[in-house]
Structure 1
């Protein structure tokens, strides 16, 4: 029977107790035996009966807005959000594919106001002041994960130390004797891409090496883009002896470009990636990369969102450290 059709008389008939006894249990009376109370409570629960004035526990949703979900990078981020929300049984996660790395689609804000999530995590994208105002008016907090531009002072954001990661990758290759080091950046308009490139140029400057424009190419953080840019770099008459790819997905494209050019990694070409997605350790050879703690960043973003929504104090901007993971794709230049 549906919960709205359940009557106390039905509970009395099912349990064999009087209607008065059932009513006493509902009203919390003490002059009822433990056996009767236990039996009637069980029958009420099993029937789906809802006590008068009892509110159904509502489910809360965290919405995660991606440009797309077809990469292992996105799955790493989503895994971090899910791991953190697992501790809250009344919170679920929904995902949206919308817009570009800079901004969601124009109609996204209307959709989110209809869905009314508990909070929103934007991946890369920034939001306009008008959209921020609508979110605030409707009591929907937001966090920007790895913002594509400089976050505003009143934004909440989480990112990795991209500049330090670029320095670490380039210093590693320099220490192995490489001087012609190519770089495949991400999109120039993204703050993380510019920071990694700045780290690369800073590390070269430490060794008194001028940046060679023919060794700098702009990618799009995809495997196909990494392949295309690596083919351009390796077609240079004075090709690089090492390539720093701005993401692990781009590094995978470098592997294919090297194969087509009959270059062995790392014997003929050293390669460093960025992110340390799970697949990086299983490439042949295993990829040396800069570890960006994607799952930790996602977990921090989620906690920041929950703290903000529930009125607890939290930092506005968090930058997590990067680290170098040395594997088999780099070697000393001989």
Structure 2
């Protein structure tokens, strides 16, 4: 109702002053209700909230940002929404955020680090409560690390938090949370499984040569070879991307000549699916002629025939944990100690590895 007792007609262009008039309060009281960080009487709050609904009022996000209001929004930035592992993590973030009444915004970068920086800046301007970045980065991108460090500090100043998932931490004095998983140990366990089955010539299909996830998985693979006394052969490493097409092309090229390996370690399950296709085209049976393992343990691993042995990464829990850390208030303290958590992985043994000898 307006001060004259006449209901105002709803308007998509309603202003804060309109809301105040309909609720019978001052514009300052409406601002306090919207901000949620000042005491307002229960009756005044209820009148303002009713007026907001009746007038279909939409708060000006930029104005709230200028006022220093931290919104109940989590930004989740990833390379590609089509990746099944990223999709599981995104689901975890969204579910955890929704359970606490927060909204989740998703942005994609297509692997472009400049685009990622731009998205983080945008979410900083919008006063997002937390910004979650997931996925590997270029291990040699010094300028990127410098810029993302500056953004982490700016986010903290604004009362927000940068959360890194599945990527290396920044320096100890940088206010960012790190939620990871034992990438190298998972690869070590998976290679050990192949070696225990008698395989000594293992083709490792990796991602980019400077990709941090790929480097960690390759490091675990090499460590297992050393443990079993098997010499590392750099000719048994092929670099590509974490896609089905890359797994297919890399395997197809290696199968055109004499096959000098008995097993393939694909750095992702998607790459492993490409290995299956290339092997089938050459008339090879899995695992009778060629053993194959993957990494991530997404649904695809169970859909392949034979079912794929893979390393299970708890991506949904990774997303949920990142959201919980981002929504917590304690990171706004000056003496916040930081958060570094590592989730465990494990090998899921199925039907794609043969016993030799």
Q: Please give the range of the TM-score, normalised by the shorter of the 2 chains.
A: 0.7 to 0.9
- Cα RMSD of the aligned pairs, angstroms, is 2.9
Q: Residue 48 of structure 1: SS of its match in structure 2?
A: helix
Contact 1:141 1:308 in 2 (8 A): no
**Unaligned runs of at least 5 residues, structure 2:** 8-23, 25-42, 60-69, 138-144
Q: 1:261 to 1:287 in 2, by over 3 A?
A: same
- CA distance in 1 between counterparts of 2:346 and 2:129 reads 33
Give the aligned partner of residue 62 of structure 1: 74
- The alignment status of 1:92 with 2:92, answered yes or no, reads no
> 1:101/1:163 Cα in 2 relative to 1: closer, same or farther (>3 Å)?
farther
Partner of 2:299: 278
Cross-structure match for 2:344: 321
Q: Among residues 86, 91, 114, which one is paired with 2:125 in the alignment?
A: 114
Q: Structure 1 209/318 Cα, relative in aligned 2: closer, same or farther at 3 Å?
A: same
Structure 1: runs of 5+ lacking an equivalent = 12-22, 24-40
Task: Report the counterpart of residue 332 of structure 1 in structure 2.
Answer: 355
Is 1:132 aligned to 2:152, yes or no? yes
Provide closer, same or farther for how the CA distance between residues 50 and 112 of structure 1 changes in structure 2, counting only shifts above 3 A: closer
Alignment of 1:11-160 (within 5 A): 48-49=50-51, 60-89=72-101, 91-98=102-109, 100=111, 102=113, 104-124=115-135, 128-147=148-167, 149-153=168-172, 154=174, 155-160=176-181
Residues 303 and 171 of structure 1: is their aligned pair in 2 closer, same or farther, counting only changes over 3 Å? same
- Residue pair 2:331, 2:338 contacting (<8 A) in 1 also: no
**8 Å CA contact 2:149, 2:170 repeated in 1:** no
Equivalent pairs, count: 294
Deviations 1:123-170 (A, max 9, x none): 1356533322332332221101111x4432233111110111111111
Residue 234 of structure 1 corresponds to 255
**Would you say the 8 A contact 2:263–2:290 is kept in 1?**
yes
- Which structure 2 residues correspond to residues 254-333 of structure 1 after superposition, within 5 A? 254-308=275-329, 311=332, 316-333=339-356
Which residue number in structure 2 is paired with residue 15 of structure 1?
none
Give the Cα–Cα distance (whole angstroms) in 1 for the partners of residues 242 and 188 of structure 2: 19
Computing the radius of gyration from Cα coordinates, the structure with the larger value is 1
* TM-score, scaled to structure 1: 0.78
Distance between the aligned counterparts of 1:218 and 1:170, measured in 2? Answer: 18
Residue 304 to residue 218, structure 1, CA distance change in 2 (3 Å) = same
Within 2, Cα distance between the matches of 1:101 and 1:289?
28
Deviation (angstroms), 1:71: 1.8
Shift of the 272–308 alpha-carbon distance from structure 1 to 2, 3 Å rule, reads farther
The 2-side partners of 1:8 and 1:110 are apart by 45
CA distance in 1, matches of 2:251, 2:72: 45
Closer/same/farther in 2, CA of residues 82 and 107 from structure 1, 3 Å limit: closer
Distance in structure 2 (CA, Å) of the matches to 1:181 and 1:292: 22
Quote the Cα distance in structure 2 between the aligned partners of 1:319 and 1:72. 21
Structure 1 stretches of at least 4 aligned residues deviating more than 6 Å after TM superposition: 55-59
Separation of aligned partners in 2, 1:138 and 1:99: 27
